[in-house]
Amino acid sequence: MSDVADTRSFLGGGLRFPMVIGPDGGFGMSYGERSVAESLWLVLSTALGERQMNPTFGCGAHDQVFAPVNDATYATVAHHVRESLTTWEPRIDVLDVRVTQEGDLANLLLVAIDYRLKDNNAMNNLVYPFYIGEGELR
């Protein structure tokens, strides 16, 4: 998707995340579905309390970073992801959140999110890597 506004203007636009400088020297912009995906990534990568001026913004899953790797932790992470996206991204309906462990990497949880864009009912998904028990080996 290019950095110019597309025909799906109802999805809005804004600064790209992560921020980049465009070829013209200005800030890079994103629009449409790309803007929504970047917004999801921003919400999930921000821990609660991390923003001084808006301490309720972000995802509470970061509180689980040293939790044991078990079904209860998977459910807690999924709950926090669903709650944060429902609160902070009004352009989507969260359909499903699944948390799985990745292969031999005991500290990597994959959070798969299925969502629907409210304005055009387009289905999308995002897989967010969440690191837990940092430095722990199997």
What confidence tens digit (pLDDT) does each residue in 44-96 have? 999 999 999 999 999 999 999 888 888 999 999 999 999 999 999 999 999 99
Residue 68 lies inside a defined structural domain of this protein: yes
Beta bridge partners, 126, equal 113
Number of domains in the chain: 1
Q: Which two tokens stand for residue 50?
A: 């991390």
Residue 112 lies inside a defined structural domain of this protein: yes
Residue 55 lies inside a defined structural domain of this protein: yes
Residue 2 lies inside a defined structural domain of this protein: no
Domain containing residue 64: 9-131
Residue 62 lies inside a defined structural domain of this protein: yes
- Residues 60, 83 contacting (CB under 8 angstroms): yes
Q: What is the pLDDT of residues 30-41, one digit of tens each?
A: 777 888 899 999
Residue 121 lies inside a defined structural domain of this protein: yes
Cβ atoms within 10 A of the Cβ of 56, count?
A: 11
- Residues 16, 38 contacting (CB under 8 angstroms): yes
Q: What is the H or E stretch that residue 102 is in? A: none
Say what the pLDDT of residue 27 is. Answer: 84
Q: What CATH number corresponds to the domain at position 50? A: 3.10.450.40
Residue 138 lies inside a defined structural domain of this protein: no
Residue 4 lies inside a defined structural domain of this protein: no
